Amino acid sequence: MCRLLGVVSATPVSVAQAVGEHVLKDFVALTKIHGDGWGLARVDRPGDDPQVEVSAGSALDDPQFDAAMRAHTSTASLVHLRWATTGLAVAPENSHPFLADRIAMAHNGSVKPIETLDALLTPDVATTLRGSTDSERYFAMIRQHRASSRDLAEAVRRAVSRLREVFPDASLNAVILGEDQLIAVHAHARSRLPDEDIAEITAADLPAEHLEDYFGMRWARVDDKIVVASTGFGDLDWQPLAEESVTAISVHDMSMTTLPLMTNRP
């Protein structure tokens, strides 16, 4: 399980400038349990490809994370805090965001069994996998659909719709960055936290939202910026993203387009 934060800005800004120091502080505080790695994907200017920086360590008191949040000014950014799924290694190759084919992606959820997920991948895409996570395989599904889709948002919609058919209860929440778009997936269906995760959140004294709406996804407009995020941090004027949907935000003009998941695969 993980926490997600995405920013699109009319002018290049750092993540800290975009959301404010108080929101960033709230976000980093979630490393009490989301401390199994962090990552940043960014697009500095429209037309650029995403650049990615990841670590298998905790973001808390990490000078590299602090610099990543403040030193880079970008028109779009994606930040991820990892809470590793039981049994999956805490290692750089398993840290989000993943990067391939000029696209970056981070996921919050668990897609099981992984063998069923593997069976959905073509051999050529499967050979590009580096780590052991279900999340990287989910990303591979998006890349697989990109070749037959008119744009990245449609590829994401098709991939998520297909995964929803096969995994009706999985959380497919994700943020994708590429092709001059930041794309937020709000698709958690009937996902619920396992009892052991609830106990860990309770012991860590994290915000109540983590128990009430852990898989929620929302967005807020902050001056000339749009922020998308998981729940549990920040006091922005949050609005819920539509459920079981894919929302694309243009890096060029910050326009938002929301697509519902397909009920029948084409």
Mean per-residue pLDDT, 102-123: 96
43 part of a folded domain: yes
Mean per-residue pLDDT, 206-215: 77
CA dihedral in degrees (82, 16, 139, 266; nearest 10)? 130
Task: Show the tokens assigned to 25.
Answer: 């502080």
Task: Confirm if 121 and 140 have CB atoms less than 8 A apart.
Answer: yes
Look up the pTM and report it: 0.94
266 part of a folded domain: no
265 part of a folded domain: no
Task: Show the tokens assigned to 212.
Answer: 């009430």
CA dihedral in degrees (264, 239, 174, 24; nearest 10)? 180
CA dihedral over 49, 111, 6, 221, signed as positive or negative: positive
Reported as a single tens digit per residue, the pLDDT across 29-69 is 999 889 999 999 999 999 999 999 999 999 998 999 999 99
15 part of a folded domain: yes
Give how many domains the chain has, as a whole number: 1
b/e 179-209 (16+ beta carbons within 10 angstroms → b): bbbbbbbbbbbebebeeebeebbeeeebeee
Domain of 55: which CATH number?
Answer: 3.60.20.10
Q: What is the mean pLDDT of the chain?
A: 93
Reported as a single tens digit per residue, the pLDDT across 212-221 is 788 999 999 9
89 part of a folded domain: yes
The larger pLDDT score, comparing residue 183 to residue 214, is at 183
Judge whether residue 16 has pLDDT over 80: yes
Task: Confirm if 107 and 174 have CB atoms less than 8 A apart.
Answer: yes
| CA–CA gap between residue 142 and residue 177 (Å, rounded) | 12
Judge whether residue 195 has pLDDT over 80: no
Type of residue found at 135: S
pLDDT confidence of residue 87: 67
Task: Confirm if 103 and 49 have CB atoms less than 8 A apart.
Answer: no
Domain span at 216:
2-260
The larger pLDDT score, comparing residue 204 to residue 140, is at 140
> Residue 265: pLDDT band by 50, 70, 90 thresholds?
very low
Percentage of the chain beyond pLDDT 90 is: 82
| CA–CA gap between residue 108 and residue 97 (Å, rounded) | 11
The larger pLDDT score, comparing residue 85 to residue 109, is at 109
